[in-house]
């Protein structure tokens, strides 16, 4: 089987080429062709020696996930379902705004963490994505959006907030991050690349050392009792440990704050007492809050908080001196909004079957 060069960051590609008897600058050339020009045909890499091109034809390829389906929302949001083999597909979402273009990238086929309000979590889990399958989403988006080398890139920001828990696929995600940041590839700023986590504390500490980018934490609850229910990983890494990890991360982070994502669930976590508990929880953590109106999906069991409840919640946080935004829902008409990504998952956990049974029993 041919080696997929998209699996390699620059250091790895340099080592791979050295084993072929090639000089380091060849790796930089190929990186630029693959990522800056979205080129997968070695013959089109015209400044590379014919002898190397011949070697690459025999042993290597630039293989990205194939397109299964593409959709465009009325607000300009675009979603692609990409084929990652054996009946599995992952979703990637591009959100255009006046000042930037943000690509939401998936890291796993499904998710193993079972956050109860998340459509991806309900789909179960199949496997981690490879580096090529992660970076291939950015490669595909640039290609699909028609970017040429002379143009300013349409994708200016990347958020690892698609399907899966990025830090549960640590090595492949960090390798992909290194490609995103590399000037010979996409050249993105560390401030413009965000990793979202539900709170895997040991991996947060590793990321702080290995590749500190902007950090978002899926918080969603102000106390351990509630978070244990809706974000079950909290039972392993409770809030006190998570807040301490956030403080440690900020020592190396490119931004001087952590973003706390907080999905607003009607009657569950959106009351004034919850806001007051949050204020106390984050007292020593420089942060901003991103309040996310819940995006319903079939049989979720949750409702979206009312606009009034969200307004009161935001006011309480702001009165305490916290920076708060309410995320504008984008792409919900094509199920591309936060928490709605489901993809196509051949579930190995039987979670889909479990939820179907729970729903059917509830109807009786």
Domain spans in the chain, listed from the N-terminal domain onward:
3-61, 66-363
Give the architecture (CATH level 2) of 3-61. Orthogonal Bundle (1.10)
Q: What is the structure's pLDDT at 328?
A: 75
Residue 220 labelled as part of a binding site: yes
Q: What is the structure's pLDDT at 357?
A: 46
Q: What is the structure's pLDDT at 281?
A: 98
Q: What is the structure's pLDDT at 363?
A: 39
Indicate the SS3 state at residue 21. coil
Q: What is the structure's pLDDT at 358?
A: 37
Residue 156 labelled as part of a binding site: no
Any bridge partners for residue 101, and if so which? 96
Q: How many CA atoms lie within 13 A of 77 on its CB side?
A: 22
Residue 218 labelled as part of a binding site: yes
Q: What is the structure's pLDDT at 70?
A: 86
Residue 299 labelled as part of a binding site: no
Q: Which residues of the chain have pLDDT under 70?
A: 121, 147-153, 329-364
CATH superfamily of 66-363: Aldolase class I (3.20.20.70)
Q: What is the structure's pLDDT at 349?
A: 59
Q: What is the structure's pLDDT at 353?
A: 53
Active-site residues: which are they? 91, 338
Residues 16-29 pLDDT 10s: 999 999 999 999 99
Residue 16 labelled as part of a binding site: no
Q: Which residues of 302-332 are buried (b: 16+ CB within 10 A; e: fewer)?
A: bebbeeebbebbbebbeeeebebebbebbbb
Q: Quote the distance between the C-alpha of residue 264 and its chain's center.
A: 20
Q: What is the structure's pLDDT at 304?
A: 94
């Amino acid at each position: 089987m041919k080696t997929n060069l998209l699996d390699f960051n620059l250091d790895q590609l340099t080592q791979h080429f050295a084993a072929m008897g090639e000089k380091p600058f060849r790796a930089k050339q190929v990186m630029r062709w693959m990522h800056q020009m979205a080129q997968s045909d070695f013959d089109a890499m015209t400044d590379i020696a014919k002898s190397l091109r011949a070697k690459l034809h025999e042993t290597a390829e630039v293989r990205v996930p194939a397109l299964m389906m593409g959709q465009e929302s009325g607000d300009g949001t675009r979603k692609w379902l990409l084929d990652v083999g054996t009946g599995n597909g992952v979703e990637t979402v591009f959100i255009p705004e006046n000042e930037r273009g943000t690509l939401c990238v998936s890291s796993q086929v499904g998710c193993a963490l079972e956050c109860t309000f998340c459509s991806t979590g309900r789909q179960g889990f199949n496997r981690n994505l490879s580096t090529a399958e992660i970076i291939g989403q950015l490669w595909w988006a640039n290609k699909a959006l028609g970017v040429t080398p002379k143009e300013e890139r349409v994708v200016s920001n990347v958020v690892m907030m698609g399907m899966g828990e990025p830090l549960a696929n640590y090595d492949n995600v960090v390798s992909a991050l290194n490609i995103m940041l590399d000037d010979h590839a996409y050249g993105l700023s560390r401030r413009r690349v965000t990793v979202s986590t539900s709170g895997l504390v040991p991996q947060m500490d590793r990321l702080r050392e290995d590749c500190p980018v902007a950090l978002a934490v899926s918080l969603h609850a102000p106390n351990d009792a509630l978070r244990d229910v809706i974000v079950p990983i909290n039972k392993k890494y409770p809030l006190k440990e998570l807040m301490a990890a956030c403080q440690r991360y900020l020592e190396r982070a490119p931004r001087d704050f952590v973003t706390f994502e907080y999905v607003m669930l009607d009657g569950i976590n959106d009351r004034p007492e919850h806001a007051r508990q949050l204020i106390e929880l984050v007292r020593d953590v420089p942060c901003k809050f991103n309040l996310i109106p819940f995006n319903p999906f079939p049989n979720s069991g949750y409702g979206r908080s009312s606009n009034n409840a969200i307004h009161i919640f935001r006011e309480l946080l702001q009165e305490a001196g916290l920076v708060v935004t309410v995320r504008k829902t984008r792409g919900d008409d094509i199920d591309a909004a936060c928490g709605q990504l489901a993809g196509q998952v051949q579930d190995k956990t039987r979670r889909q079957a479990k939820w179907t049974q729970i729903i059917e029993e509830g109807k009786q």
